[in-house]
Structure formats: structure tokens, C-alpha cells
Amino acid sequence: MGLMSIFGNLGGMLGDLIAQHGGTEAILQGALQQAGGVQGIVTKLQGAGYGDAVQSWLGAGPNQPVTAEGVAQAIGHGRIGEMATRYGMQPDQVSGLLAKVLPGLIDRLSPDGTLQPHLLQGGHGGGASPLAPAS
């Protein structure tokens, strides 16, 4: 699948920026590192009042959305700003990207309802990367 299928309506310019800086996987990996890993980002989102949304990602059924502002609040505006600077993006672009991608990512990393961050390190049985768009 193409890069643009991941971002949908975020627009071609944002897609080009992301491609120039290593793609979605590089940005997500940076975000996860900054937030203390997958468990760290889940904990931060739960602590910021997004527990119901996170639970929907972990469980079966539709994933509830999280807002870009919610992601920035959970991770920290300072950390989002650092990532934006690192990738040559605006902070709202970084938090918007994360808000769009995190629900599906966490859903894919919890196939049985329990978060399994080791799937991010390639232990996903040779299938598609959990950072790749869902088919």
C-alpha cells in the first residue's frame, strides 16, 4: 500500500514531508521511544483521560478515535515539539499523524486483547509490519 493510503485526508504535502524523514515508521518509532515505548504511550493516554479509547484499541470492536490535542497532551507538548523539529514538521502535524495512526497500531499490537509490544520488533510471524496500514 502507498504512503498516502495511511494518511488519507492529511494531504500530499504532509505525506511528502513524512517520506523525506524516513516515513511513518520512523516517526512512530521516534514517538514511541520518546513516550517510553508502546506501554508508555498507552499509559500516558490512559492517564490523560483516554482510557476508554485505549481500551477500544485493545479489545475487539471498532477503535475509538483520539484527538491530535489529546495525543499532544498525553505525550507532552514539549516532546511533540521536539519530534516536530526533528522531522521538519509542525507540532500539530506530528500529533495529528499520531492520532490517526495510534489506534490501529495499538489494535494490531494487541491481537488477543493484551498489549504485545514485542510484535513491533519483528516478532509478528513474518507478516506485515504492525506499522504498515491495515488491509
CA distance 33 to 7: 21
Whether pLDDT at 77 is above 80: yes
Give, in order, the Cα–Cα distances in Å from 46 to each of 27, 52, 70. 21, 8, 10
**Architecture of domain 11-117 in this structure:** Orthogonal Bundle (1.10)
Among the ranges given (5-19, 20-34, 57-71, 89-103), the one the predictor scored with the smallest mean pLDDT: 5-19
Put simply, whether the predicted model's pTM sits higher than 0.75 gets the answer: no
- Sequential DSSP letters for 62-112: PPPP--HHHHHHHH-HHHHHHHHHHHT--HHHHHHHHHHHHHHHHHHT-TT
| pLDDT tens digits, 45-58 | 999 999 999 999 99
| pLDDT tens digits, 98-109 | 898 889 888 988
